C-alpha cells in the first residue's frame, strides 16, 4: 500500500496543487480534476475532495487537513483515505492522538464529523504520521467496503 504524504507550509491549497500531487503518484495529470461532494447534502461547495480521472484509469483517493498554518495531503490508489492534522497546544492531552486517528477514519469514510467514529465498523488501517514539530497527525486507508 502506497500513501503519499505531502506537508505544505500554508492552509491555502489550490486545486492545481492537488492535481499535481495526484500526478506525482500516477505519473500523469492528463484529464485529472478535483471536485468536492458532500455526502450529506450533495453540495459541491464543501465535503471530501474527490479525484476525477479519465475513464479506464485506476482510481485515486485524496484527503487533506489544515491546522496552524500547515496542510497535510494524503494521496493513494489503495482505497478511500482520510488524514487529520492538529496543532499541539500547551494544554494538549494524550487524547489528541486518539482524536486525529478517529477523525482520519471518519474522513476516509466521507462522513467527516457528522458521525461518531466509535459507531463505525469498517476494515481500515490507521498510521500515525511523523508530523512537523508542534503537530500531531494520522492517516487512515479503508481496506474494505465502508
Does residue 93 carry a pLDDT above 90? no
Alpha-carbon gap, residue 106 to 100, rounded angstroms: 10
Q: What is the pLDDT of residue 121?
A: 84
pLDDT (0 to 100) of residue 118:
80
* Angstrom distances, CA of residue 39 to CA of 7, 45, 106, 111, 115: 26, 12, 12, 7, 12
Give the residue-averaged pLDDT of 4-28.
Answer: 94
Give the separation between CA 10 and CA 8, rounded to whole angstroms: 6
Mean pLDDT of 64-81: 96
Rounded to whole angstroms, the Cα distance separating 60 from 128 reads: 21
**Is the pLDDT assigned to residue 112 strictly greater than 80?**
no
Highest mean pLDDT pick, 55-59, 94-98, 123-127: 123-127
pLDDT, mean of residues 67-90: 95
138 pLDDT band (50/70/90 cuts)? very high
Domain boundaries, the chain: 3-142
Residue 146: what pLDDT?
Answer: 65
Helix (H) or strand (E) segment spanning residue 41? none
Above 70 in pLDDT, residue 50? Answer: yes
pLDDT at 24: 95
Predicted confidence band at 2 (pLDDT cuts at 50, 70, 90)? confident
Between the alpha carbon of residue 87 and those of residues 8, 27, 44, 65, 105, the distances in Å are: 14, 32, 28, 11, 18
Look at residue 135 in the predicted model and tell me its pLDDT. Answer: 94
pTM: predicted TM-score of the whole model, two decimal places: 0.90
Amino acid at each position: 500500500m502506497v500513501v503519499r504524504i505531502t506537508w505544505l507550509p500554508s492552509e491555502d491549497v489550490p486545486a492545481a496543487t492537488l492535481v499535481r500531487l495526484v500526478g506525482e503518484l500516477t505519473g500523469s495529470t492528463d484529464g485529472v480534476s478535483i471536485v468536492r461532494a458532500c455526502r450529506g447534502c450533495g453540495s459541491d461547495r464543501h465535503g471530501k475532495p474527490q479525484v476525477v480521472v479519465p475513464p479506464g484509469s485506476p482510481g485515486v483517493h485524496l484527503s487533506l487537513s489544515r491546522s496552524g498554518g500547515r496542510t497535510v495531503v494524503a494521496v493513494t490508489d489503495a482505497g478511500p483515505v482520510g488524514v487529520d492534522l492538529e496543532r499541539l497546544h500547551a494544554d494538549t492531552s494524550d487524547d489528541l492522538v486518539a482524536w486525529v486517528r478517529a477523525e482520519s477514519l471518519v474522513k476516509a469514510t466521507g462522513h467527516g464529523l457528522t458521525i461518531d467514529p466509535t459507531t463505525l465498523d469498517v476494515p481500515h488501517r490507521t498510521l500515525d504520521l511523523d508530523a512537523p514539530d508542534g503537530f500531531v497527525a494520522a492517516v487512515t486507508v479503508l481496506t474494505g467496503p465502508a
